[in-house]
Chain A
């Protein structure tokens, strides 16, 4: 039995070769991302249907809880002046979480594609840098690389670049490892059940050994960790780091 763990499948390709960027490929990542966006937006619209001031429904209570949590998370960690970041951080968390969890229905997570996390991390990196420049000016920002001594400049640049790379790779690695391990476990349990049921002699054994009976149960338990726990944790960590880095940058750190 072969286990093939590959990148996102490409559904469609626009055959125009852009310089540097290559051809536009509509891959699984993109399609599932759209699905994720649709899901989130649909959920938002569903939750905020007929909002009332009194006698609120359960649905509205959930919407209020989500909004207040988002407000508290951003304002609590970054301060009142960053309240314009609430939509961005909310979108980051929601997209990350739903993307991570969408693998539960058998789709390929968009977050199992490094391009996704790299895109997010670069956006966050640009925000961090712009906050730093805003806090201490372009000169102050560039000068910050030479502290404490000029010799440290390359290391400071490295550590600056390490921020987005580590953010992207941390998230990507966790989700990819889930995909890989799940693939391996499914494959291994399929092989194991084929071997086990193949012990039954005759045609019955031949038929039964085609059914990967051991795939039922155990992967579900493992997915509690690899999908649910990791999915939540990575979304939370990514947002937490975003918020912390940007707030620290604005403090002139």
Chain B
């Protein structure tokens, strides 16, 4: 079989190898680099999207947490307001009750005092009437005796005053 030189340039082999090299470059690009690079790019995009989603979710959660905290804060404020109002109300009511009680007590006391005064006056009048009666009796008794008008009046007054002191 014919052989080529061990060290030599064969023009057609030379040309063929140049073509082969470029064909090989094209084949590698088409069958290895392009699909793998596309896949890597897709994966990178997916990873990026996932990271973005996670960031968004985290932001949302933070927002939600902030709004919850605000709501809680507001609720607490409202509760304390309600408690304060209730306490104020209760204090006012108790004061009113006390005042009313005091006024009622005062009214009762006044009434009682008035009653006492009235009873006293009534008793005095009763006694006066009785004394009047007694005076008539006394007068009847002393008819026999001659009495001056002045003696008569003095007698009555003395009696009344003596009775008044004892009552």
How far does the alpha carbon of A41 sit from the alpha carbon of B20 in the complex, in Å? 12
Q: Which residues of B contact A33 (CB under 8 A)?
A: 16-17, 20
Does B13 lie within 8 Å of A9, measured CB to CB? no
- Which of B8, B24, B40 interacts with A7 by CB under 8 Å? B8
A47 CB, min distance to chain B CBs, angstroms: 7
How far does the alpha carbon of A186 sit from the alpha carbon of B27 in the complex, in Å? 37
Q: Which residues of B contact A21 (CB under 8 A)?
A: 11-12, 15
Interface size class of A (residues with CB under 8 A): 35 or more
Does A119 lie within 8 Å of B18, measured CB to CB? yes
Does A10 lie within 8 Å of B25, measured CB to CB? no
Does A119 lie within 8 Å of B15, measured CB to CB? yes
B29 within 8 A of A: yes
Does A122 lie within 8 Å of B2, measured CB to CB? no
Most buried by A among B22, B23, B29: B29
Q: Which residues of A contact B43 (CB under 8 A)?
A: 53-54
- Which of B2, B24, B40 interacts with A10 by CB under 8 Å? B2
B41 CB, min distance to chain A CBs, angstroms: 10
Does B36 lie within 8 Å of A67, measured CB to CB? yes
Does A123 lie within 8 Å of B21, measured CB to CB? yes
A244 within 8 A of B: no
B 28-41 to A, binary, CB cutoff 8 A, 1 in contact else 0: 11011101110110
Does B9 lie within 8 Å of A90, measured CB to CB? no
Known A-B contacts A25-B12, A37-B24, A120-B17; the reply to A51 vs B31 at CB < 8 A is: no
Q: Which residues of A contact B16 (CB under 8 A)?
A: 30, 33, 119
B3 within 8 A of A: yes
B 67-89 to A, binary, CB cutoff 8 A, 1 in contact else 0: 00000000000000000000000
How far does the alpha carbon of A10 sit from the alpha carbon of B6 in the complex, in Å? 12
Q: Which residues of B contact A20 (CB under 8 A)?
A: 11
Write the residues of chain B forming the contact surface with A, with a CB cutoff of 8 angstroms.
Answer: 1-18, 20-29, 31-33, 35-37, 39-40, 42-43, 46
9 A-B contacts, Cβ less than 8 Å apart? A9-B2, A22-B10, A33-B17, A33-B20, A37-B24, A45-B31, A48-B35, A95-B21, A123-B21
